[in-house]
């Protein structure tokens, strides 16, 4: 208590002449220079007339903001308020018939250091606990935080609360400002384009299959999410699919904002090597919210269901069989019109739903789909199958002067009530030739073969093959 009373008494006696204290703190100098060239100019702050959003991937968007404006001849400041705290200050443009001299982003409440710099060197009021009057002090801003000068003493954390005077120059709501010079009066619509962070979209897909998983319904969803801190109401939305490289200076490319629609969904329009989707109507995106919209829906898709096991040929003798291996369940589609699709598919998560015996939809798996153009195959690996297994064993190994001969048996076992097709994939090495095989074999590439045997319900099938691998030849140069 004695220490607190000493602070109040000393502050009260050392109070005179403090309001005009001077500071040379770097933040103060920076704040003062930022205002140079702007003071005394009339400020025009038009209301929002219309906005549109172009969303690029998951983290950023381009806002096109149009507002009615009346310019007078000469110099003036055009301010666009209500823009949110996540604007990239260096990625802005303003379109109007005037010379743009300067541009700045104003948001003094972005952090403590920013708004304290606006009060550096001014008089603030300190209210000690249970005091009936305040004590004036001069605010000194340093890199490590604020100091309060009372007379010839500095206090880091004075007891009580600190109140700051109202300041017309303090910007607590984010705004973009341009200092413009107009040669003649003008009335029209001024349009600003600026990049905003934490606003974007993701592609999401659902594949709902029948119980046999050989037919399905494909739906493409757009998940719009807004964490930028700015609400958007009644805005047109365009989605851009594909990676877009950003570099400064920023120059937004013009987009043809054409409304489109199709009986089965939104058309994907080609744009600069990518695709865009123009969502119909207007949309509301709260400052902290998400919205999920249907982009496309396709019915009656042909789905190929296969169980898959993989292995590789060893160049060494092995005696013991491998441990039993669970087959991987894979659903495959072809992105063609003949199979029910035939549309560009931006990368995103695919959730597969399959009904159980009570007709309840159950998630059968989730897979990340890469960007998939038209004509490309889609493979959805849903995880391990519980009751389709394989056990692999080397049955022969012979070395000769020219190479090796290796034989394998892959025993497939199916405990399901229905027959299944199993894709057996074997990786090869070196210069090889299949000399014997129990089932039709497909040579997929220089180092891979495949078998597609059908395994009956509660049955077993052996897939066997023999491969001759030639020894590598050493070529000695002259």
Q: Are 251 and 108 in a shared domain? A: no
Q: Which of 194, 227, 262 is the last residue of a domain?
A: 194
Average confidence score pLDDT of the chain: 82
Q: Are residues 447 and 320 in the same domain?
A: yes
Residues 210 and 255 in one domain: yes
In a domain, 343, yes or no: no
Same domain, 458 and 330: yes
pLDDT of residue 473: 56
Same domain, 114 and 138: yes
Which residue range forms the structural domain that includes residue 95?
2-194
Same domain, 215 and 297: yes
Residues 320 and 263 in one domain: no
Indicate if 217 and 151 belong to the same structural domain: no
Least confident of 21-30, 174-183, 204-213, 433-442: 21-30
Distance CA 299, CA 302 (A): 9
pLDDT digits over 108-122, tens only? 655 566 667 777 777
- Decide if 464 is inside a domain: yes
CATH number, domain of 440, equals 2.60.40
Number of structural domains (the chain) is 3
Closest CA to 363 of 471, 219, 209: 209
DSSP state of 112: H
Contact 296, 266 (CB under 8 A): yes
The model's pLDDT over 156-203, given as tens digits with 9 standing for 90+, comes to 888 888 887 776 566 667 889 999 999 999 999 999 999 999 999 999
Q: What is the DSSP letter of 110?
A: G
Same domain, 23 and 168: yes
pLDDT value at residue 471: 79
> Are 49 and 144 in a shared domain?
yes
Residue 353 domain flag: no
Query: What are the start-end ranges of the E strands in 32-115?
Result: 43-44, 50-56, 60-71, 74-81, 87-95, 99-106
> Are the CB atoms for 126 and 160 separated by under 8 Å?
yes
């Amino acid at each position: 208590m004695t220490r607190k009373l000493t602070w109040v008494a000393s502050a009260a006696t050392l109070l005179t002449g403090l309001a005009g204290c001077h500071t040379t703190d770097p933040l103060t100098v920076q704040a003062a220079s930022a205002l140079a060239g702007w003071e005394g100019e009339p400020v025009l702050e038009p209301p929002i007339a219309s906005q549109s959003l172009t969303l690029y991937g998951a983290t950023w968007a381009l806002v096109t903001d149009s507002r009615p404006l009346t310019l007078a001849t000469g110099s003036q400041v055009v301010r666009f308020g209500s823009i949110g705290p996540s604007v990239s200050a260096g990625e802005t443009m303003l379109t109007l018939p005037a010379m743009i001299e300067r541009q700045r982003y104003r948001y003094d409440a972005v952090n403590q250091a920013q708004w304290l710099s606006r009060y550096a060197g001014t008089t603030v009021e300190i209210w000690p606990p249970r005091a009936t009057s305040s004590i004036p002090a001069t605010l000194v801003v340093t890199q490590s935080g604020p100091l309060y000068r009372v007379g010839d003493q500095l206090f880091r954390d004075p007891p009580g609360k600190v109140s700051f005077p109202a300041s017309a120059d303090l910007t607590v709501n984010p705004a973009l400002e341009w200092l413009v010079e107009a040669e003649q009066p003008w009335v029209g619509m001024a349009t600003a384009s600026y990049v905003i962070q934490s606003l974007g979209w993701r592609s999401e897909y659902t594949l709902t299959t029948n119980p046999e998983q050989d037919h399905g319904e494909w739906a493409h969803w757009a998940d719009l999410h807004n964490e930028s801190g700015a609400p958007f109401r009644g805005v047109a939305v365009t989605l851009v699919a594909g990676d877009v490289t950003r570099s400064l200076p920023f120059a937004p490319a013009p987009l043809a904002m054409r409304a489109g629609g199709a009986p089965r969904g939104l058309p994907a329009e080609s744009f600069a090597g990518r695709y865009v989707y123009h969502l119909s109507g207007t949309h509301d995106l709260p400052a902290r919210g998400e919205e999920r919209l249907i982009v496309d829906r396709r019915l009656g898709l042909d789905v190929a269901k296969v169980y898959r096991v993989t292995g590789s040929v060893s160049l060494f003798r092995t005696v013991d069989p491998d441990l039993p291996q669970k087959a991987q369940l894979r659903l495959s589609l072809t992105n063609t019109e003949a199979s029910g699709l035939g549309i560009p598919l931006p990368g995103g998560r695919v959730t597969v739903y399959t009904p159980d015996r009570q007709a309840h939809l159950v998630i059968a798996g989730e897979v990340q789909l890469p960007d998939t153009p038209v004509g490309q195959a889609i493979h959805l690996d849903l995880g391990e199958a519980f009751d389709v297994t394989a056990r692999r064993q080397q049955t022969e190994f012979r070395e000769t002067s020219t190479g090796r001969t290796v034989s394998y048996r892959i025993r497939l076992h199916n405990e399901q009530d229905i027959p299944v097709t199993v894709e057996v994939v074997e990786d090869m090495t070196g210069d090889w030739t299949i000399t014997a095989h129990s089932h039709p074999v497909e040579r997929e590439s220089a180092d891979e073969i495949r078998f597609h045997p059908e395994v009956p319900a509660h049955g077993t099938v052996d897939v066997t093959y023999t491969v001759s691998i030639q020894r590598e030849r050493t070529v000695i140069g002259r």
